[in-house]
């Protein structure tokens, strides 16, 4: 049996909610530890971080004067 390599992600609760929503499309979360920590598949880390960046850009706004 092959062991799954994992990575601990630390993030704020708002980002964690985005990650949980992303996980519904592509299952990468191994364990939800608490409000600030998730364990994810190590081989998915780069893709997850890249997709999270895109999602955070969508949720960013600026007020123009």
> Which domains does the chain show, CATH number per domain?
6-58 (3.30.70.1220)
pLDDT in tens, 45-58: 999 999 999 988 88
The predicted structure's pLDDT at residue 14: 92
pTM: 0.82
Which stretch of 6-10, 12-16, 28-32, 60-64 has the lowest confidence by average pLDDT?
60-64
Where does the chain show beta strands of DSSP type E? 6-10, 29-32, 37-41
Mean local confidence (pLDDT), 11-18: 94
What's the whole-number average pLDDT of the chain?
91
Per-residue pLDDT band at 62 (split at 50, 70, 90): low
The CA distance from 36 to 25, in Å, is 21
């Amino acid at each position: 049996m092959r062991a799954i390599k994992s990575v601990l992600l630390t993030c704020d609760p708002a980002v964690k909610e985005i990650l949980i929503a992303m996980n519904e499309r592509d299952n990468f979360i191994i364990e939800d530890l608490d409000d600030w920590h998730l364990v994810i598949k190590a081989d998915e880390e780069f893709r997850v971080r890249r997709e999270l960046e895109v999602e955070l850009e969508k949720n960013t706004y600026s007020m123009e004067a």
